[in-house]
Amino acid sequence: MQENRLDKNILQSLDAKRKCLMPYVTAAYPNLDVTAGLLDRFDRIGCPAVEIGFPFSDSIADGPVVQDSFNRALDAGFKIDALFDRIADIRPKLSMALIAMVSMSIVRRLGIDNFMKRASECGFDAVIVPDVPVDESESLSQTSTAHGLRCILMCAPTSSAKRQAEIAKHASGFIYVIAAKGITGERSAVDSQLPTMVGQLREVTKTPLIAGFGIGSADQVRDVCSVTDGAIVGSAIIRRITEAVDGKLSDDKIVQTVGDYVESLYAGTQ
């Protein structure tokens, strides 16, 4: 398997006794300049990776906050070609890994091989396709691997031991451990079963375990990181972007405000 920036960055963080904070942003929300500015700020904070969501009108796993950001980006004319071009432009300036979170409908529309090729060429390091279950992911995984991309699989609290073992068998990069039942969105607490699920996965894999869904404060990041290798924060970041947009803040001020919030979350990784 080819060397990959995501693997290297996760390992470096864990070797430095720091868990991994992975922010999530919606591509081109509110525009590509803000997306690029946020990626630069997250990189300077020290995040080993960032997830970039591709706007899609019919997302199955996302709550109203993320779906609203998708709708706004699409209404503003989001184009995948423009995103790939901007990623190619900023990639040389960034040390963190870039993860494309994208619906299989988008991948199929462009063609699986074509999508993976273009994503890799512009500078992505991994893909997450949340609407493809592990038992249907083999060709996707093979194609992404052929283009040097890690294919991140998700493990839900409801996954059986058999399903966990199957996910562990095919996992690369990290396993996205879903820390709360249901759709994405902030919650007052993560699922009480998270430590049990993580313990079960540790028995069948050495692949890093990064938890997401429902995480929105430094304390929650700290709690999640006490049992996993890192935390993904999405809806809480998108909500702050939306509040800044609705408050008519400038692009630079949006980047500053959201960046300061992510920096506060980063404190929970040690």
Q: Please state, as a whole number, how many other Cβ atoms lie within 10 Å of the Cβ of residue 94.
A: 18
Which residue would you say has higher pLDDT here, 189 or 151?
A: 151
Which residue would you say has higher pLDDT here, 252 or 193?
A: 252
d(CA 231, CA 268): 9
- Contact between 128 and 152 under an 8 Å Cβ cutoff? The reply is yes
Averaged pLDDT, 27-47: 99
Q: How far does Cα 192 stand from its chain's mean position?
A: 22
Q: Which of 43, 62, 186, 229 is catalytic?
A: 62
101-119 pLDDT, tens per residue?
A: 999 999 999 999 999 999 9
Q: What pLDDT is attached to residue 185?
A: 47
Q: What is the mean pLDDT of the chain?
A: 94
The mean-pLDDT minimum among 1-5, 75-79, 139-143 falls in 1-5
On the question of pLDDT at 52 being above 70, the answer is yes
Q: Which of 7, 43, 51, 223 is catalytic?
A: 51
What percent of the chain stands above pLDDT 90? 85
Q: What pLDDT is attached to residue 190?
A: 66
Torsion of CA 181, 183, 186, 189, to 10 degrees: 0
On the question of pLDDT at 232 being above 90, the answer is yes
Active site residue 252: no
CATH placement of domain 5-150+228-269: 3.20.20.70
Active site residue 62: yes
d(CA 236, CA 26): 12
199-228 pLDDT, tens per residue?
A: 999 999 999 999 998 899 999 999 999 999
- Domain limits of the chain? 5-150+228-269
Indicate the burial class of 14 (C-beta count within 10 angstroms; 0-12, 13-18, 19 or more): middle
On the question of pLDDT at 173 being above 60, the answer is yes
Q: What pLDDT is attached to residue 181?
A: 62
DSSP for 103-120, please give it.
Answer: -HHHHHHH-HHHHHHHHH
d(CA 99, CA 89): 16
pTM: 0.95
Q: How confident is the model at residue 188 (pLDDT cuts 50, 70, 90)?
A: low
